[in-house]
Structure 1
Amino acid sequence: MKPAWRSGNQIRLLINGDAFFPRVFDAIRQAKRSVVLETFILFYDNIGRELHAVLQATAARGVSVEVMVDAYGSPDLEGEFINTLTAAGVRFVLYDPGPRLLGVRTNVFRRLHRKIVTVDDEVAFVGGINYSAEHMIDYGPEAKQDYSVEVRGPVVDDIVAYTREAIGSQQKVSHWWSRHGRIRPDRPLPGEAQALFVWRDNDQHRDDIERHYLQMLREAKRQVIIANAYFFPGYRLLKEMRNAARRGVRVKLIVQGEPDMPIVKVGAELLYTWLVNAGVEIYEYIRRPLHAKIALQDSHWVTVGSSNLDPLSLSLNLEANLIFHDRAFNQQLTDHLTTLLKADCRRVDASDLPRRNLWQLSKNVVVFHFLRHFPAIAGWLPAHTPRLAEVDPPVQPELETQDRIDVDNGGVKP
């Protein structure tokens, strides 16, 4: 399957679980033919329980429902949770489960990190939001700031075909053009609702998402805004950010100021001096943990997806992003991020940068050599063929008729 630009799509930005979950759950409830859902994390909390109820009821109506969950990211799903789904007709697949070593999960590399839902081959959701209560604002100070998109139109065919191949589905794709009778151009034109579905795998599409980021930075003329939760990218991307800033593009980078994992901020801070000295504006989001994986360029380019700009996402995990060429959507996200920058971010200035000394220089040398060579290093890590473990429905006990009971008891009811 080869990625291609598709024209004539409708896009809806979904900010946080408060906007995302109602749209996804409602789409699944209204499904008539099929639902395919992939996610990294599915927790057994109030969000997970609501998703469970929606999937179970939809499958019970005879709709084809297929779910694939990463076994590392969702390690504690109870047997009853899965069994009640499979008993209702849900096809439930665990991505690459592995045994624990002394109670510790060891299969950390090359995870299924995508978050995709498709319904009836007509609507798709792609982004970074997992199925857990921590994506809801009322979760409190630890609630994650995150994004997804709902899309309708020709690009949905590509998403459906990809997810069904990934999950090993036997369902056939009902092509958009056969349903609506339109021919789809394959060249993007700024200002139109053009969409491109891109993914990262460990086969023929190892660096597709990164290449689109690099191209975007090279072609930027006025501004670039990148909001990314786990920012520790490869050397090439850092270099293109610096090059863009040096030729006059206003490059703004939003990273975590209140990280969910402290090591995340430590890694990003090692890059601050190198970027700030080249003119890149760095902002720390300080309201709560940032889980975003979004970016925009100038007046038309936007990407939303699951891919962080860190070694795991860029070199190991399975990821998926949507890229759009659409002025209205670009403006909507620009307005949102501009408000976010003013209200909830702190700009990193020269006084925040570490003092230049031998220790700092040594750390920077190690970091940049690591970033320069990480794709090659990643190739040494385990690259086994991942196993998809489909969960069989629970065995139903044979139900005896009352006549059989009566016979076995000599005609006397117990």
Structure 2
Amino acid sequence: MSYEWRDGNQVELLINGEEFYPRVFEAIRTARKEVLLETFIIFEDKVGAELQQALIQAAGNGARVEITVDGYGTADLSAPFLAEMIEAGVKIHMFDPSPRVLGMRTNLFRRLHRKVVVVDAELAFIGGINYSADHLGDFGPMAKQDYAVAVRGPIVADIHRDTLQMLSPAERDSSKLTPVTRHAGDSRIRLSVRDNDERNDDIEKQYLDAMRNAQHRMVIANAYFFPGYRLIREMRNASRRGVKVTLILQGQPDMPWARGFSRLLYNYLLREGITIYEYCQRPLHGKVALIDREWSTVGSSNLDPLSLSLNLEANLIIRDPAFNQRLYDHLINLASEHCKPISLERILRGYWWRAPIIFLSFHFLRHFPAIAGWLPAHTPKLKSLKTVAINDGTSEVCFEQEKVS
């Protein structure tokens, strides 16, 4: 099922953990009815600890609290950390947990990469920010630059319904809340998700439609940038029409290979008149874009093979001139103050010996989703975490398989 555009919403841009965490933790702590949370990563650090206590407080308020985490991204939480939540009434579900082989995690592909929170079916958050201290500036040079949005209004009903779909039928049916859908603002918003079922290219389609209709400007800030040919072609076509296309990509990456893959495309993009900046102040983890003066998107989906073809993702597509302008002003300031422009002359240095590598790597990565697609697809498959008391007073965690359809 694809979601429709919803009018009458309020949307607020939240930049980095400094703006996101206080808002989401306060919303969770004051929940009275329900908290639904999905995330790729929770680390057992000061941010994870604050999230844990906020969830425990919500459960203490009498709210139903359901959190779903990824079995790869959130694989190392300790049994006592989890047990404290479970004993307080927080229900924890893990997406595709798998045992390590020779100390290595094997569940690499088709991850639950979404970052969604819905509180009391009235307020929702979507973005790219995980629950870890590396999203705060005091983490140091490797602190991540990232984004989320807080929304109220009719769109929350779609987000609430979609988040419930991740749970088992019994858990879905236990939610008796009617989402608050009254008019909250002037934003027109559409929920766009990618799964491994009927909506496997919905986010990509939203980008493509907006790019084909672009007339003035396009700014994309993306952490892991290696889109397929269709997206690259529409960027090229937009640039040829006179649209000013600007890319803000990683210059100080948390994963160096990510910048290496992106740079495979620089020569082609620069020759088409596309402007490229590399953000060098800190690792860029954002997944945001804007086109012209109304269309914007914020969410969890990168423009790379994992996000566009394999992972479970969630973005909001936002039509709101004021929001678009705020995001534009921020990104252009980011580019001018904290980025270095990439020139074609610089990229062509040593190109003669790198060209064959670029050619082979580009075509391998273009076909990577199809290759990875030979692996079994992960439909929403969850295991519920339970605690078992040990004689010495410690706790260990065991799993109970859930049936999700």
What's the offset of the Cα at 1:364? 3.5
Q: Equivalents in 2 of 1:330, 1:394: separation in Å?
A: 50
Q: Is the 8 A contact 1:234 1:374 kept in 2?
A: no
SS in 2 for 1:197: strand
Please point out which of 172, 175, 179 is paired with 1:171.
175
Structure 2 counterpart of 1:36: 36
SS in 1 for 2:165: helix
CA 1:345 to 1:358, structure 2 compared with 1: closer, same or farther past 3 Å? closer
CA 1:34 to 1:350, structure 2 compared with 1: closer, same or farther past 3 Å? same
Segments of structure 1 that go 5 or more residues without pairing to the other structure are: 185-190, 398-414
What's the offset of the Cα at 1:318? 0.4
Q: Is the 8 A contact 1:72 1:108 kept in 2?
A: yes
Structure 2 counterpart of 1:193: 187
Q: Is the 8 A contact 1:301 1:325 kept in 2?
A: yes
SS in 1 for 2:8: coil
Q: Equivalents in 2 of 1:385, 1:321: separation in Å?
A: 19
Q: Is the 8 A contact 1:8 1:192 kept in 2?
A: yes
> Which has the larger displacement, 198-207 or 350-359?
350-359
CA 1:384 to 1:134, structure 2 compared with 1: closer, same or farther past 3 Å? closer
Instruction: String of CA shifts for 1:270-320, please: whole Å, max 9, x gaps.
Output: 110000000110000010100000000110000000001111111110000
Instruction: String of CA shifts for 1:310-346, please: whole Å, max 9, x gaps.
Output: 1111111000000100000001101111111110011
What's the offset of the Cα at 1:396? 11
Structure 1 counterpart of 2:125: 125
Q: Equivalents in 1 of 2:42, 2:15: separation in Å?
A: 19
Q: Is the 8 A contact 2:196 2:378 kept in 1?
A: no
Instruction: String of CA shifts for 1:346-375, please: whole Å, max 9, x gaps.
Output: 110122213475543323332443354344
TM normalised by structure 1 equals 0.90
The alignment status of 1:237 with 2:231, answered yes or no, reads: yes
CA 1:396 to 1:167, structure 2 compared with 1: closer, same or farther past 3 Å? farther
SS in 2 for 1:74: coil
Q: Is the 8 A contact 1:235 1:371 kept in 2?
A: no
SS in 1 for 2:3: coil
RMSD across aligned C-alpha pairs, in angstroms? 1.9
The alignment status of 1:105 with 2:105, answered yes or no, reads: yes
Q: Equivalents in 1 of 2:158, 2:120: separation in Å?
A: 13
Structure 2 counterpart of 1:257: 251
TM normalised by structure 2 equals 0.92
Q: Is the 8 A contact 2:33 2:120 kept in 1?
A: yes
Q: Equivalents in 2 of 1:2, 1:236: separation in Å?
A: 21
The alignment status of 1:223 with 2:227, answered yes or no, reads: no
Instruction: String of CA shifts for 1:155-197, please: whole Å, max 9, x gaps.
Output: 00000001011123321341334xx4x7x9xxxxxx9410000
SS in 1 for 2:316: strand
CA 1:48 to 1:138, structure 2 compared with 1: closer, same or farther past 3 Å? same
Identical amino acids, percent of aligned pairs? 54
- Size of the aligned set, in residue pairs, is 387
Please point out which of 242, 265, 278 is paired with 1:271.
265
Q: Where do residues 47-66 of structure 1 align in structure 2 (5 Å cutoff)?
A: 47-66=47-66
More strand by share: 2
Structure 1 counterpart of 2:394: none
Q: Equivalents in 2 of 1:175, 1:26: separation in Å?
A: 20
Structure 2 counterpart of 1:378: 372
What's the offset of the Cα at 1:385? 4.2
> Which has the larger displacement, 263-272 or 385-394?
385-394
The alignment status of 1:139 with 2:139, answered yes or no, reads: yes
Q: Equivalents in 2 of 1:24, 1:77: separation in Å?
A: 21
CA 1:255 to 1:83, structure 2 compared with 1: closer, same or farther past 3 Å? same
Q: Equivalents in 1 of 2:121, 2:267: separation in Å?
A: 47
Instruction: String of CA shifts for 1:96-147, please: whole Å, max 9, x gaps.
Output: 1001101110111100000000000000000000000000011111100000
Residue identity matched to 2:175: Q
Q: Equivalents in 2 of 1:384, 1:113: separation in Å?
A: 13
